[in-house]
A = this chain, B = another copy of it.
């Protein structure tokens, strides 16, 4: 019901590969800034923090953009990955929910530099409406549908409280949006064809806590102390 993305494999690019392309892109941009003209899969893999064989296989899904014996042309590869990810076009993004997180996102430079343009900031709280953030004026979320339609918004970021998220989600889908990035800690229910990705800050922290617990407590003597407690 969520995360049904069979489109990714239509031309044979695995989801796992797509998820890493932004990583490569970032590493390549870093190399380009330092004036590097070409890079080997080994070096690029190191910069991106992945295995070099995996990198080569990932890139091979896009085409044969490398030169044997030399490596990859940095600028050319940047262009190819950008185009594959659809970053050569301009995406209008609306952010719904202008709390702390929404503000952080509106000011986040990583969006603008990657072809994303914040085209609207919306909130249901009258106390927030009218605020000026990152060059935009916060509008009331009553006008959500109008903003989406008039400004060609195709991606919506939900940064509302959990209770409001599903309602906002339903409205933006009704307005024609099919790509949603959800920061609210709820499972959104969406129809087929709508793509939802979620970021939950506390989940990552909980995963860290799991591993941290394993480290400090050694390992044994932990699986047994539940016995006889309630079961």
Query: Are B211 and A5 closer than 8 Å at their CB atoms?
Result: yes
Cα distance, A110 to B203, chains bound together (Å) = 9
Among the listed B8, B25, B80, B103, which residue makes an inter-chain contact with A211, where contact means beta carbons less than 8 Å apart? B8
Task: Count copies of this chain in the complex.
Answer: 2
**CB of A167 within 8 Å of the partner chain:** no
Residues of chain B with a CB closer than 8 A to A208's CB? 155, 179-181, 195, 197
**CB of A27 within 8 Å of the partner chain:** yes
Residues of chain B with a CB closer than 8 A to A47's CB? 187
- Segment at the B interface, from A16-24, A119-127, A143-151: A16-24
Query: Are A213 and B114 closer than 8 Å at their CB atoms?
Result: no
Cα distance, A107 to B102, chains bound together (Å) = 12
Query: Are A19 and B207 closer than 8 Å at their CB atoms?
Result: yes
Residues of chain B with a CB closer than 8 A to A107's CB? 100
**CB of A212 within 8 Å of the partner chain:** yes
- Chain B nearest CB from A172 CB (Å) reads 13
Range, interface on chain A: 35 or more
- Chain B nearest CB from A159 CB (Å) reads 9
Residues of chain B with a CB closer than 8 A to A111's CB? 201-202, 205
Cα distance, A80 to B223, chains bound together (Å) = 11
Residues of chain B with a CB closer than 8 A to A204's CB? 181, 197, 199
Query: Are B210 and A86 closer than 8 Å at their CB atoms?
Result: yes
- Segment at the B interface, from A35-43, A52-60, A87-95: A87-95
Query: Are A205 and B114 closer than 8 Å at their CB atoms?
Result: yes
Query: Are B105 and A201 closer than 8 Å at their CB atoms?
Result: yes
Among the listed B85, B114, B210, which residue makes an inter-chain contact with A18, where contact means beta carbons less than 8 Å apart? B210
**What are the 4 closest A-B residue pairs judged by CB atoms, nearest first?**
A86-B213, A100-B104, A110-B202, A49-B187
Q: What are 19 A-B residue pairs whose CB atoms fall within 8 Å in the complex? A: A5-B211, A7-B214, A8-B211, A11-B219, A11-B222, A19-B203, A19-B207, A22-B207, A25-B206, A83-B226, A86-B213, A93-B205, A100-B100, A105-B201, A110-B201, A116-B205, A155-B212, A179-B211, A197-B208
